[in-house]
Structure formats: C-alpha cells, structure tokens
Structure 1
Amino acid sequence: MEEESFEDFWALIEDSRRRATGRDEREELLGDRLAERPLREVVRFQIQLHRLRQRVDTWEMWAAAEQIFGGSCSDDSFWYFQFWVVGLGREDFHKVVADPDALADIAELRRLAGRPLSAWPDDEWPEWEGLDYVAAGAYEKLTGEEEGLEAALDAEGIEHPCNPEPDGEAWDVRHTEEAARRLPRLSTMFPLPERTAGWQRAE
C-alpha cells in the first residue's frame, strides 16, 4: 500500500495526539471519530494500524524496547510497545523505523530517563494496548456486534495477529558493547547495570 493511503490514518492519530492529554482521552477521541464514519473506514483503520505496526515488529526494535525496559521486555510488552510507537505520529514513527536508536529523541522517553522503572506511572509507560481496541469499539458502537470487526477482517481474509513475529536477527542488549554500538544513545539514556535490580511496576 502506498504511503498516501495512510494520510487519513495519520491525520486521526496526530489529531488525537494534539487534542488529548492522555491515552484514555486519545482512545475516546479516536473511537468517537471512527464511529462517525462508514464501517469500511473503521475496518480500514484497523488494517492500516497493523500494517504500520508490522514495520516496527523487528528484533532491532525489540532490543530497543528491552534497553528502555531495563534489559527485559516480554512478548506482551513488546506488542503494546509497537502500538505506542505508531501512536507517536507519522514523523517520529518513520524516524524510528529507520533507526530505533532515534527513540532517544522522543520527549516521552526523555522524561523517563534516569528514573527507576518502579517510579514510572502506568500512563507514562511506552506501551499503548488500548490503541489496538479502538476500531473494535467503534465497530461495536455502530453495529452492536461485540466481535464484529474481527469477523469483518476474517471475511476479507485479513489476518489479525496478537503476538510479535519479529523480522531480522535477535541480539541481546545485555551484551553492553553490542548495545553501545547498535543503540548508542538509548544505552546511554537507559544503562542496564543501574536498572536491572529487582523492581516492581508502579500502580
């Protein structure tokens, strides 16, 4: 699919980023906007979301997430991290696709640098699970069908995975020399030796 076909998708994502103050508010805004549109556009939004998500479903991006998350990033966390990257908007998304180390330029991450993971509030974690459910909620609002979007995707022969299937070659950010070479800025912002002690996620 050509980049121009994503224009409307990016317009929705970036409008929600400008107008909302948090992810819950962004989800509500996106859901309301989608629910004003024909069903085919709701389905198209979800298809585009996953096509873009697939571009950051790489081992290099997973390594970047592990660097940020203190050396460990589960399948679920990486899955939600991918949606968060899409939610950054077109310009930042493309920068990060070209170079995962460019995540070091993202303001949301810069605010987390130097803080222990145990002090990260849930709404600041670089994950956005809810973005994957926005279109389904809008579809249900329009049709009353709880799993209507999933059925619509099936009818079009569109796969809707729920786990990472990364491309590329896996490598371990705990190899500090390799991390410094491949993710020089992130490995400086989120150094593992100071962040691998036991921690619990803030509630």
Structure 2
Amino acid sequence: MNRDQFWEVVESARARAQDVDGMAAALVETLRGWPLAELVAFHEVQEELLQRDAYRWDLWAAAYVVNGGASEDGFDYFLGWLMAQGRARWEATLADPDSLADVVDVDGGDLDGEEMLCVAQAAAEDEEAFWAALPDKGEHLPAGPAGEHFDFQDQERMRRLLPRLTAAFHRQIDRSAGDDTE
C-alpha cells in the first residue's frame, strides 16, 4: 500500500462519518475483513505518516495551543484527529501548522482522535496475529520529534511560531502555564 491508496481509504471513510469517532468506526468497518498483510501495510503507512512526517516540535506546539496543553499521548491523539480531517487538511497543517487557525473552533474542545491510531488492529480478526505480523521497526524510528525543541510556555516564541493560533487561543496558553511539554 502506498500513501495515495492509504488516503483513498481514509477519504472514503470520511465521507461516511459525522465526527472523529465516527471516522475511526467507519475506517474499522472498511478495513474489517481485509487480509492480515493488507492491514499491516495500512498500519505501516499510517505509522510512517505519524512518526516520520508529523512527529515534529512545531506541530506539537500547535497541539499545545489548541488543546490548552499536550502531553506526549495528547500530541499523538491530536495527530489522530488531524489524520481524520483528511489528506488536504493533513498536508496543509504539515506545511503550515498555523493554518489550523482557519479551521479550528476556539470553543470546540480538545482535538482528540485516539481511536484513529488503532484502526488497523481493531479491524484485525486476530489482534495478536496482527501485532506478530508487524515488522520490528523500533530501531528505525526517530529518537524524538524533528526540529528544534523549545519550551511551550515561552509565550513570545509561541506567538512568533504560531501567530494566528496563539491570537485565537491566547486564553488557553495563559491557563496552561503549568502543563508538561514532554
């Protein structure tokens, strides 16, 4: 499976979903019954997108701003939400994390798509067999997020990096002054 095929599957599920949870359920429904090798291939493309493309400090900063804080798990769940928005939003946000200001509702609550992160294994007939079929890529994963690490509580730096998001969500930044960034 390549990225274009992955996004075709995601977009077809998106067309049947009303929200992020519905999106994850629609994806599981789509994937259910696929051969194990195809589920593994889907999961591998998803992990590549999450770990190699999106695991970046600037995106983590955006998650921190819009969610009023973001632990490592919280950042992962944000990326699940972002993936559920479809390829166009995914690519636009990776190109410019501040572009989320165009689509995110300040009063919309946390952007959390945890269920999106486990759709392939949820669709597998035998989850244990699914995990056993995954190639061991642990040694090839990035050691940490790409880019320069900085303190998310540095409001001036956050405003320079994400001017539109911080303007829209300035109250959340002020309230989250004690949250962890890692």
Superposition TM-score tier, normalisation by shorter sequence: 0.7 to 0.9
CA contact (8 A) 1:56 1:97 kept: yes
What is the rounded CA distance, in whole Å, between the counterparts of 1:82 and 1:136 in structure 2?
A: 18
Secondary structure of 1:147 counterpart: helix
Correspondent of 1:62 among 60, 63, 69: 60
Q: Which residue of 1 aligns with 2:133?
A: 152
Runs (5+) with no aligned partner, structure 1: 199-203
Give, in whole Å, the separation in 2 of the partners of 1:126 and 1:170: 22
How much is the aligned-residue C-alpha RMSD, in angstroms?
2.7
Q: Which amino acid aligns with 2:127?
A: E
What are the superposed Cα offsets for residues 110-154 of structure 1, whole Å, 9 maximum, x if unpaired? x2x1x3xxx83xxxx311111122110211x2xxx232211110x
TM-score, with length taken from structure 2:
0.84
When normalised by structure 1's length, the TM-score is 0.76
Partner of 1:42: 39
Structure 1 segment 3-152 matched on structure 2, within 5 A: 5-54=2-51, 55-70=53-68, 72-106=69-103, 109=104, 111=105, 113=106, 115=107, 120=109, 125-139=110-124, 141=125, 145-152=126-133
- CA gap 1:69/1:40 in 2 versus in 1, 3 angstroms: same
Unaligned runs of 5+ in 2: 178-182
- In structure 1, distance between residues paired with 2:176 and 2:74: 19
- Count of residues in correspondence between the two structures: 176
Match of 1:201 in 2: none
Change (3 A) 1:102 1:160: farther
Deviation at 1:77, TM superposition (A): 0.4
Partner of 2:144: 165
Instruction: Pick closer, same or farther for the CA change 1:25–1:160 going to 2, 3 Å.
Output: farther
Judged with a 3 Å threshold, the aligned counterparts in structure 2 of structure 1 residues 48 and 195 are, in CA distance, closer, same or farther, namely: same
- Are the equivalent residues in 2 in contact too, given 1:67–1:192 (CA < 8 A)? no
Contact 1:63–1:172 (Cα < 8 Å) also in 2 = no
CA contact (8 A) 2:65 2:172 kept: no
Q: Give per-residue Cα distances to partners, 1:153-201, cap 9 Å, x unaligned.
A: 0xx333499xx93111112343222222110110111004775079xxx
Aligned to 2:153: 174
Matched residues in 1 for 2:63 and 2:166: separation?
11
* Identity within the alignment, %: 33
Greater Cα radius of gyration, structure 1 or 2: 1
Greater shift in the superposed pair: 186-195 or 57-66: 186-195
